[in-house]
């Protein structure tokens, strides 16, 4: 029997690998959607719906999958989930109509539910003081979003877009087998048999859960939405080809995934609230700059009209997007540190509902991005929307956490110290 340390390492390593592959497949329409958009002559709203459809089912199944993980264990649930996705992934290569892609996208989206399975599975293998880091390492599987931006364009360039789902289905099947044979199950991690479904769901009424859902709808939902949208944005806003656009878009997706482990370590060290607060502020400033559209300004001077161009070039845009990706990575980890602190015995259900909220943000936002572009003609309107949502989170966090903590600290400072300490036994 392998030692506990070896079991922990294998569970964490294989779960992270499996989640990375699931996330890569979940985000494949970020690249695959571009040639499909041209093939079917889709508008921006239709493209947004196509890219976001897998995110819908991946979000809706997170709560039930999290609860199943609490009850039956993460190993069997994760393995079966990956197997179920293999055939729908392959069938995308045979699709010819818009509705074909939408229907198959719903089934492929099940892969996105792997997060609530893996996060509960991994967290229960580690001690409380190391859970933030372990969950951060697992969450680094979000880098699958960047991986698909390297792999899918290379496959398309070498063969065709139809080859992408064929290759991805084979990768998913092999990953499922590796996961099953290289991981372990601990029945002590499951909820007690006398815990009812109602007991699992009762915690969801806690107002804190709704607040964590709001935070996660930004740091994860916004991450997913921008990861789906940025390849197309670079192609249409700056005129890059598909391969170059996908590479630049990966500058957002990659740090948004791999640095999540650092966010977990920071949350262990400085606390979830401090990390989340600064994540929101950094995101708010960067999104304000990103939201400014390309503008031509003409000023009447004594020497006649003078024109100025105001806006971000591709490199300045990429740097700001890179910073947002880092902030979102830290935020995704800090939100789940909140959950592991407050709900250690109900991780599956709570991570499921918070993950569902984040995923729904990732589903709704790309559709809204497309609708705003169709309505206004301004591509940076997507960042205007994100800026407003982050502003809501900052206000909510200030009044519910930051202000309360400040008031409590001031009250503690004003309270007089006792004149003497009682002797033992008094």
| Angstrom distance (rounded) from CA 22 to CA 111 | 5
What's phi and psi for 344, nearest 5 deg? -65, -25
Instruction: Calculate the alpha carbon distances from 261 to 131, 171, 219, 324 in Å.
Output: 11, 25, 15, 16
Domain limits, the chain: 4-186+204-409
pLDDT at res. 82: 95
Per the DSSP assignment, residues forming a β-bridge with 297 are 308
Q: What is the DSSP letter of 94?
A: G
The whole-number pLDDT of residue 259 equals 80
**pLDDT recorded at residue 348:** 67
What pLDDT, on the 0 to 100 scale, is given for residue 203? Answer: 64
pLDDT of residue 424: 40
pLDDT tens per residue, the chain (426 residues)?
Answer: 568 788 888 999 999 999 999 999 998 998 898 899 989 998 888 998 998 889 889 888 888 888 888 888 889 999 999 999 999 999 999 999 999 999 999 999 999 889 888 888 888 888 877 777 888 788 888 788 888 888 999 999 898 899 999 999 999 999 999 999 999 887 776 666 555 566 656 666 777 888 888 888 889 889 888 988 898 899 888 989 888 988 888 888 888 767 877 887 888 888 888 898 999 999 999 999 999 888 888 888 888 888 888 888 899 999 999 999 999 989 988 888 888 788 777 766 787 788 788 888 888 898 899 899 999 989 899 999 999 989 988 888 888 877 766 555 555 455 554 444 444 433
Distances (CA, A) of 75 to 14, 67, 323: 10, 13, 35
Residue 415: per-residue pLDDT: 53
Given phi > 0 = left and psi -120 to 50 = alpha, else beta, which region is 59? alpha
Nearest to 225 by CA among 82, 59, 35, 378: 59
pLDDT value for 356: 81
Beta bridge partners of 346: none
Q: Measured between alpha carbons, how far is 227 from 225 in angstroms, rounded to an integer?
A: 5
CA distance 402 to 407: 9
Q: Alpha-carbon distance 76 to 120, whole Å?
A: 13
Question: What number does CATH give the domain 4-186+204-409?
Answer: 1.20.1250.20
Q: H-type helices in 221-379, by residue range?
A: 221-238, 242-258, 260-270, 272-290, 314-342, 347-376
Q: Is the dihedral of CA 205, 341, 345, 11 positive or negative?
A: positive
């Amino acid at each position: 029997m392998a030692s506990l340390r070896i079991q922990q390492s294998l569970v964490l390593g294989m779960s992270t690998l499996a989640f990375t592959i699931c996330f890569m497949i979940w985000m494949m329409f970020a690249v695959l959607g571009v040639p499909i958009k041209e093939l079917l002559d889709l508008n921006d709203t239709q493209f947004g719906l196509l890219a976001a459809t897998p995110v819908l089912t991946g979000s809706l199944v997170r709560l039930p999958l999290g609860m199943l993980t609490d009850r039956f264990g993460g190993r069997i649930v994760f393995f079966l989930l990956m197997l179920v996705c293999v055939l729908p992934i392959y069938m995308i290569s045979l699709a010819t109509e818009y509705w074909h892609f939408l229907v198959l996208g719903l089934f492929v989206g099940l892969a996105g539910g792997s997060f609530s399975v893996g996060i509960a599975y991994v967290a229960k293998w580690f001690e409380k003081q190391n859970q933030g880091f372990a969950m951060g390492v697992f969450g680094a599987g979000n880098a699958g979003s960047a991986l698909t931006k390297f792999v899918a364009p290379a496959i398309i360039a070498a063969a065709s877009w139809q080859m992408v789902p064929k290759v991805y289905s084979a990768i998913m099947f092999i990953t499922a087998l590796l996961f099953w044979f290289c991981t372990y199950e601990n029945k002590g991690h499951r909820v007690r048999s006398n815990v009812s479904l109602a007991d699992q769901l009762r915690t969801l009424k806690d107002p804190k859960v709704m607040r964590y859902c709001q935070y996660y709808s930004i740091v994860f939902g916004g991450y997913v939405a921008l990861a789906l949208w940025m390849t197309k944005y670079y192609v249409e806003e700056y005129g890059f080809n598909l391969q170059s656009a996908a590479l630049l878009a990966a500058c957002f997706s990659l740090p948004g995934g791999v640095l999540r482990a650092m966010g977990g370590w920071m949350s262990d060290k400085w606390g979830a609230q401090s990390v989340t607060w600064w994540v929101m502020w950094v995101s708010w400033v960067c999104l304000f700059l990103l939201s400014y559209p390309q503008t031509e300004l003409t000023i009447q001077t004594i020497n006649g009209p003078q024109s100025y161009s105001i806006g971000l070039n591709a490199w300045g845009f990429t740097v700001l997007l890179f910073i947002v990706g880092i902030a979102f990575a830290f935020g995704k980890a800090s939100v789940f540190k909140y959950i592991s602190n407050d709900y250690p015995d109900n991780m599956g259900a709570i991570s499921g509902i918070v993950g569902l909220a984040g995923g729904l943000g990732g589903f709704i936002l790309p559709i809204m991005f497309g609708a705003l572009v169709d309505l206004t003609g301004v591509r940076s309107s997507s960042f205007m929307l994100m800026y407003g949502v982050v502003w809501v989170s900052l206000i909510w966090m200030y009044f519910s956490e930051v202000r309360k903590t400040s008031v409590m600290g001031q009250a503690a400072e004003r309270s007089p110290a006792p004149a003497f300490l009682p002797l033992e036994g008094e």
